Each structure stands twice: as C-alpha cells, then as structure tokens.
Amino acid sequence: FHLHYGDLTDASNLTRILQEVQPDEVYNLGAMSHVAVSFESPEYTADVDAMGTLRLLEAIRFLGLEKKTRFYQASTSELYGLVQEIPQKETTPFYPRSPYAVAKLYAYWITVNYRESYGIYACNGILFNHESPRR
C-alpha cells in the first residue's frame, strides 16, 4: 500500500500519477467537505468535488485502465439533505441542500455513468457519521 497525493483540480497531474502508478484501486477520499464553507466557495467546491471525480474517471478511461483499475468514490449522507425517511435506504430519494451536497451528487452520478458507459469498475460508498445509536 502506498499513498499518492494529487490535486483534484489538475487533470494532467492526476493522469500522470495514474500513468506512473498503474493502480489496481483508486479511492477518491478527497473533497472540499465543509458544508458551510461550500456556500462561501461554491465554484471551488464544484471544481474539487464534482469535477475532480470526473477528472479521475476520465484519466482511468483515457489511459485504458478500465479493466485494471477499480474506482471507489466516497460520497456523503448529505446527498439526502432534508431527509424524507429515517433511516435512509438505497431507495430513499436524494435531496441535496448545499453546494457541497450538489457537487457530491454529481460525483455520485458521474461514477454510475462511467461504470455503465465505459465498463469501469466504479462504485460509490455513501458515508454517514461514524458515531450513532445504530452503530
């Protein structure tokens, strides 16, 4: 296991890293993740969280790593926003209520799109708070 650092706003940097490493797995855990700050910096939030995910997926596709590299997109319970039911299920509709949540929703759906369109092994994990009564 080796951690590689990259800038999600720099497609050429991400492509170079993936080309050099030829990874079996990519875990996209990077994000501008402060909900309140996303209202102050919505464009930056979209660039990092939404477009950063697209840049990683596109680098995998561009380099022909679709069959070799598995991609994990870390998502957020913020996708559900103003929740319609508790607890949420896979069928609970998304209702994002912040620029952060909207950017992560784009990342969620572009991951699905690249899986279905290009055959990339790409999956989403919707992460919730780590501490709760349901733990």
Q: Confirm whether 1 is domain-assigned.
A: no
Number of separate domains in the chain: 1
How far is Cα 45 from Cα 40, in angstroms, rounded to an integer?
Answer: 9
CATH number at residue 79: 3.40.50.720
Classify residue 114: in a domain, yes or no.
Answer: yes
Q: Can you tell me the distance from the alpha carbon of 106 to that of 126, in angstroms, rounded to the nearest whole number?
A: 13
Q: What is the pLDDT of residues 19-72, one digit of tens each?
A: 999 999 999 999 999 999 999 999 999 999 999 999 999 999 999 999 999 999
Q: Which residues are catalytic?
A: 76, 78, 100
Write down the pLDDT at residue 132: 65
Domain contains 135 = no
In a domain, 60, yes or no: yes
Domain that holds residue 76: 15-127
Residue 93: is the preceding peptide bond cis (ω within 30°)?
no
For residue 124, the SS3 value is strand
